[in-house]
Structure 1
Amino acid sequence: MSYTAMELVCWNVRGLNSPAKKKTLREFVDTVHVAIICILESKLERVDQFTIMQCLGPSYDGFTYLPASETRHGIIVGWDSSRVQLSNVAIDTNFLTGFVSPREGPTWWLSVVYGPQSDVQKIAFLEELVDRRALCPGPWLVIGDFNLILHASDKSNNRIDRRMMGMLKRFIDDCALKELFLHGRKFTWSNEREVPTLTKIDRAFVSVDWELDHPECLLQAMSTSASDHCPLFLALEEHLQPRRRFRFELFWTKLDGFLEAVKEAWVCDGEITNPFHRLDVLLRNAAKSLTAWGQRRAGNIKLQIACANLVILRFDCAVESRRLSEGERWLRATLKQLVLGLASLERTTARGRSRIRWLQEGDANTTMFHMIANGRKTKNFIPALSVQGQVITDQLGKEKAFFEEYKNLLGKDSAREHSIDLEFLNLTSVDLADQDLVFQEEEIWEVIKDMPADRAPGPDGFIRIFFHKA
């Protein structure tokens, strides 16, 4: 597929200091497939490429961050450079700003904010935003956790600081901004108590020219999942979901009936006699059958997480109009723990997935290789190829172009017009007859046994433990 659509997510995750939180965030990012991801309250003083790979994945090869102060605050912004670029980044006390350049469409400024707690700091924060706006003319989007409410209806009780409400309104007027309407939720934060306090402190403001450039944008609230803030999903255009490729899950071998499932799937048409073709057909049939078997046995973990988040969202909406019963509170808390548990299960296969080199066949995302680099997976995005002045963008066309290029590069066997007299050069003779010998089954098994259990020897997605067990 072509990722020309632009989406952005902003989420206060309340810290990324635990592996479960990082995996929950990774699952969320893989679900939404956005071009820009903004993470608030990371509580990380230092963010490197390894942290980005853990939390966001290989697609987000560009990132910037505002470091936390003594494990408090912190902002991370990651982007997929194949779809968008973020440049001219400026770091301020409580927010960061960058110039967004999509592959298609108009450019604009983005400010991601995480507002401070005290009133004095909030006033200074808004003044810094005004000063930054003066340095960044043009379309502008400001999104994040302001720690401020704009209207009295933005809080579920009457304990309201109207002075600070006025300061936020003054900032909006001075910068000529408009708030994007939030679909799906009335509030964005809860203190998670039996009688909760609910507020709308996560919001997005845009300038008039930004709204004119994106008249059909849609801002939606998503499930709070393992946080107490709901993510803000901003869609500028529609896009399709990419097709998922086959992955052999490490825990499948521990499930009852695994060997029987492999035996049933390991079938091939008897008319196919070419050994390479037979092996290819056998692996394809096994991949298809094991995928269906694994879903029946263990279920779709991502779907279970999505269902849990959907129910949590229902409770999030219900708590805004009534008090939850004891059973509902128990179910909501249980589902939040379930999300973390399912994320931990996914984490057990993350090592294997991150260390497999994949060659995606017909993948609509046009990603051709996942390369191994220091135990992390990096994805190269090839949007188009230029062959003899012709630009190729479709997947099949690019595959054919690569095949022809490497075929011409490797060449073919032909009679030599000239030869080299090695005896005249007095070079030491080396017997290379063993290089023409056929590989023995014992040699192949030794190579497979020496591989890590979660490493795949080829691009088909089958890791070593499959060949060892099956």
Structure 2
Amino acid sequence: MNCLSLNIRGVRGVGKGNWVRSIKNKEGVSFIALQEIQASGVFEETFRGFWGIKSMEFEVVEPCGRSGGLVSMWDPIVFKKIDCIKHNNFLILKGKIKEIEDVVFEVNVYAPQNSNDKRNLWNSFSTIIGGESGVWLIMGDFNTVRTSEERKGSQFKARCAREFNQFIACNDLHDYNMRGGKFTFLMENDRGRKMSKIDRVLVSRELMDRWPTTCLRVLPRLYSDHNPLFLKMVENNYAPKPFRLFNSWMEKPGFEEVVDSALESFVGFGAPDVILTMKFR
């Protein structure tokens, strides 16, 4: 399943539907998450402009006045919705995709600007994640960064970053490496250029294990000051999966004992690179 996430800055702008639809058709997208739709009472006809004539289902979170608003659109052949949870700042779709036996939670996020509101949002997310069994795919505009290197030309708020990182770590969520650009948001004004990586995709470890070669790309901006994020979930059935070690594993009780036991009991043969590969496995 390929996904597209974009802060669209209003769904009624001229050319925006054609722009998103062209990306969808070119890249084979089956799930679209748009943030800041900035319009109430939007009908299916408008979203058809972003999706096209093919089979589509969608859910909407209405904006507060002219601010915010979310819409998620998907191919019902690929994703089967079971339930939906709506909030001013997120839209959670619970369902099934044919490649995974577990329940999948597709989340569209537009985080608030206020630091306290963001903290409350992370706490709400943590409560929901802790109370549900399944794998998580969370995409959207988080309105914060993880490190100072992810922000340029504007103030880095260490406390916000720390709380965001704690939310990610506590829920065992992970970032895919982003290709095609370092930043996802660009604002130009009289004082210069402000760039940041506030848009991202977070996934649960089970999803990353299932698709270890998945590619996350930053696509060119056109009708928004945010870049679209394209997640291509690559199935790798033609070669062994690459060795991967998550930092969160090292914090789990018994990690060192498991590694020591595996090394002590290992018996290898062949060339050195083959022996090393077998050790990792």
1:49 CA drift (Å): 1.9
> Quick check: which has more Rg, 1 or 2?
1
Conserved 8 A contact 2:154-2:194: no
Q: What's the secondary structure of 1:44's corresponding residue?
A: coil
1:47 CA drift (Å): 3.2
1:158 CA drift (Å): 6.0
Of residues 145, 166, 170, the one that matches 1:170 is: 166
Q: What's the secondary structure of 1:205's corresponding residue?
A: strand
Of residues 38, 43, 64, the one that matches 1:43 is: 38
Q: What's the secondary structure of 1:142's corresponding residue?
A: strand
1:150 CA drift (Å): 0.5
Q: Determine the structure 1 residue equivalent to 2:7.
A: 12
Q: Determine the structure 1 residue equivalent to 2:215.
A: 218
**Structure with the largest fraction of strand:** 2
Q: Determine the structure 2 residue equivalent to 1:208.
A: 205
Conserved 8 A contact 2:83-2:95: no
**Letter aligned with residue 42 of structure 1:** I
Superposed CA deviations along residues 136-157 of structure 1, whole A, max 9, x for unmatched, are 2221111110001110100113
Q: Determine the structure 1 residue equivalent to 2:183.
A: 187
Structure 1 residues 137, 24: closer, same or farther in 2, change over 3 A?
Answer: same
Q: What's the secondary structure of 2:145's corresponding residue?
A: coil
1:60 CA drift (Å): 4.5
Conserved 8 A contact 2:217-2:231: yes
Q: What's the secondary structure of 1:144's corresponding residue?
A: strand
Q: Determine the structure 2 residue equivalent to 1:97.
A: 92
1:187 CA drift (Å): 0.6
Q: Which moved more, 1:25-34 or 1:69-78?
A: 25-34
Q: Determine the structure 1 residue equivalent to 2:126.
A: 130
CA distance in structure 1 between the aligned counterparts of 2:134 and 2:30, rounded to whole angstroms: 21
Q: What's the secondary structure of 2:11's corresponding residue?
A: coil
Conserved 8 A contact 1:29-1:56: yes
Q: What's the secondary structure of 1:11's corresponding residue?
A: strand
Structure 1 residues 117, 227: closer, same or farther in 2, change over 3 A?
Answer: same
Q: Determine the structure 2 residue equivalent to 1:295.
A: none
**Letter aligned with residue 17 of structure 2:** K
Conserved 8 A contact 1:79-1:86: no
CA distance in structure 1 between the aligned counterparts of 2:26 and 2:67, rounded to whole angstroms: 27
The runs of 5 or more residues in structure 2 that have no matched partner are 236-281
Report whether the alignment pairs 1:88 with 2:83: yes
Q: Which moved more, 1:100-109 or 1:61-70?
A: 100-109
Q: What's the secondary structure of 2:152's corresponding residue?
A: coil
Q: What's the secondary structure of 2:9's corresponding residue?
A: coil
TM-score normalized with structure 2 length: 0.77
Superposed CA deviations along residues 109-146 of structure 1, whole A, max 9, x for unmatched, are 22110011112211111111112212322211111100
Of residues 41, 45, 61, the one that matches 2:56 is: 61
Report whether the alignment pairs 1:24 with 2:22: no
CA distance in structure 2 between the aligned counterparts of 1:46 and 1:54, rounded to whole angstroms: 16
**Letter aligned with residue 214 of structure 2:** C
TM-score normalized with structure 1 length: 0.47
Percent identity over the alignment is 24
Q: Which moved more, 1:132-141 or 1:65-74?
A: 132-141
**Letter aligned with residue 203 of structure 1:** R
Matches within 5 A, 1:338-377: none
Conserved 8 A contact 1:52-1:60: no
